[in-house]
Amino acid sequence: MNAESQSLYKKIVENVRDPIFILDAQRQIMFANNAARLQFGLQLEGQSFVRIIRNPACLEAIDEVLYGAESRSLQITVENQYRTVYDVTIVSLDGGDGGKQVMVGLSDISHIHEAEQMRSDFVANVSHELRSPLTSLNGFIETLQGPAKGDLEASERFLALMAGEAQRMVRLISDLLSLSKVEANQRIRPEGVVNLVPVLQRLLKMLAGLAEKERKTVELEVPDEPVKVLGSEDELTQVFQNLVENAMKYGRPDSTVRLKVELSDNEPGIRGKAVSVTVIDQGEGIAREHIPRLTERFYRVDTHRSRDKGGTGLGLAIVKHIVGRHRGRLRIDSEPGVGSRFRVVLPATDASR
């Protein structure tokens, strides 16, 4: 490659977002663009490409181009600190002085693979969650059509169980639809103005029956002034309903669930003034290793207990997405044996202060 050609290549590839290398016949790096230097280090020229990418299939493809092939394309996985998947494009270049050279381009497609894996896992989890109640329903139906046919007492018992399984599927499908709707609108910020205090007051009246059933006392602490945020009233109601229901279901009997609403001038991750709503329970608490995964779809600390309480494993995932859509933050703190605190922080409107 003569000086004029090399200068032209540099101008073309220097500001490309993907790492690009030009190698000589010994696989030595003659040139690396800015993206390559940012990802793999500043001092790349003169190094062997093997020190950057050790994948045998990639090195073999480079050799094929060096020895006559016009180009090669392949996909490789590199295991370093993180698992990265690259689309690799290798193209033959005319060295100008008789020396063979190749251009190697790396395009990081890890996010595509992660999305595909998430979709696959999601479908598998949904299938599993639906299969269990459907299998139970099928067994109950066969029993009612066979051994328990005409047995009124058995029929009533099995019909009650069937109703419970059907309600479980309805809850799951409802949560799936909610999650799908929120994800579809994730990038669109709600524009309505919501006064949180009356929303929370109405919610607690609605959940009074559950509080009595679960033997919980509920306390609501609010500031004297209005507490307003930009948002969707229905979605924010869903957020706090999920959090309060969890606190009621998983707190110890005869304990207190507290809702604390506060105004703040400085919250990490929030521009300007903020509103926080903290739901505090007096439950068994959650071990530290579980906390980062609580908002994953279908993740449960105690699977059997969650299902017994009617949980679908999607509630906190929905909360996370709704809070994100409102440009807010969800913070979770818990101490085993003491209880948990779920804190939702939202940007406040000027009318809040």
3 state DSSP class of 120: helix
> Which residue pairs, CB below 8 angstroms and at least 24 apart, start in 11-16?
13/103, 16/105
- Where residue 286 falls (left for φ over 0; alpha for ψ -120 to 50; beta otherwise) is beta
> Where in the chain are all domains bearing CATH 3.30.565.10?
189-353
* CATH superfamily of domain region 189-353: Histidine kinase-like ATPase, C-terminal domain (3.30.565.10)
**What's 352's DSSP letter?**
G
CATH class of 3-108: alpha beta
> Which residue pairs, CB below 8 angstroms and at least 24 apart, start in 129-132?
129/172, 129/298, 129/312, 129/313, 130/169, 130/172
pLDDT in the model for residue 345: 93
> Where in the chain are all domains bearing CATH 1.10.287.130?
110-184
3 state DSSP class of 27: coil
Give 128-142 pLDDT, tens digit per residue: 777 877 888 888 888
Strand order in the sheet with 83-94: 29-32, 20-23, 100-108, 83-94, 71-79
pLDDT in the model for residue 353: 42
How many Å apart are CA 58 and CA 74, to the nearest integer?
Answer: 7
How many Å apart are CA 279 and CA 248, to the nearest integer?
Answer: 10
Type of residue numbered 94: D
Type of residue numbered 320: K
Q: Is the pTM of this model over 0.85?
A: no
pLDDT in the model for residue 98: 56
Burial status of residue 250 (CB atoms within 10 A of its CB: 0-12, 13-18, 19 or more) = buried
Domain covering 110-184 in this structure, CATH number: 1.10.287.130
> Where in the chain are all domains bearing CATH 3.30.450.20?
3-108
- Write out residues in the chain with pLDDT < 50, as ranges: 352-353
